[in-house]
Amino acid sequence: MGRANGRPRGRWLLALLLAGGLAACGGPAPPLQATAPADAPVVVAVHDGDTLRVRDAHGRVRTVRLAAIDAPELDQPGGAQAQAALQGWTLGRAVTLQERGDDRHGRRLAVVWRLQDDGSALELNLALLQQGWAWHYRAHADEQPLAERWRYAAAELAARRAGRGLWADPDAIPPWEWRRLKRRSPAPSRRAGAARTSGSCPCWSWAARRTRPRAAP
């Protein structure tokens, strides 16, 4: 919520302006051309909103984790919708991967691009943020190029402010917090530990207040 002095709103505007300027100066160029390469991997399965499986030209199947974002878990509010969004964009389609190494689970990290019918390239990691179906994974933001980092942070902030996707719920819980709570309890409350921090710059992030249970009389 904005304050009377306008500072929170100013932080939003500053973030968006900086992101736009950085993207204009150094955003990544789409790697796809007018037609997808004949040896481009094809998406054969979508596990959830940020993980898919691709088959390459040699028939090998790999698991790909979309880099720098975190979508809701399937058992989490918004998880099925995030999966459906990614599935609608990718299943059965050729994609291009900008690989970023492997994560601790052995999945290939990548920025994933898909050629659209009009010949333009859709950056799927960014699209999920723009549509409000993922968080910018700020714990790994320092692994991103600077311009990309700000574009992703600004995309999440814009979706949050517009109430798109999972941001229709002001108490949406980030997946990393959901996973932590689930390890401690099989049924985490939607409000318990709701973390509303995001982005890669703490100067315009904010922290949610945690509701503490009142001591029994």
In whole angstroms, what is the distance from residue 50 CA to residue 156 CA? 15
* Residue 176 CB contacts under 8 Å (≥ 6 apart), including other chains: 70, 137, 139
DSSP of 51-116, one letter per residue? EEEEE-TTS-EEEEEETTEEPPPTTSTTHHHHHHHHHHHHTT-BEEEEEEEE-TTSPEEEEEEEE-
Cα distances (Å, whole numbers) of residue 40 to 7, 57, 70, 91, 106: 47, 7, 25, 14, 21
Q: What is the DSSP letter of 141?
A: G
In whole angstroms, what is the distance from residue 83 CA to residue 79 CA? 6
The catalytic site residues sit at 65, 73, 107
In whole angstroms, what is the distance from residue 39 CA to residue 97 CA? 12
Do the Cβ atoms of 197 and 150 come closer than 8 Å?
no
In whole angstroms, what is the distance from residue 147 CA to residue 125 CA? 14
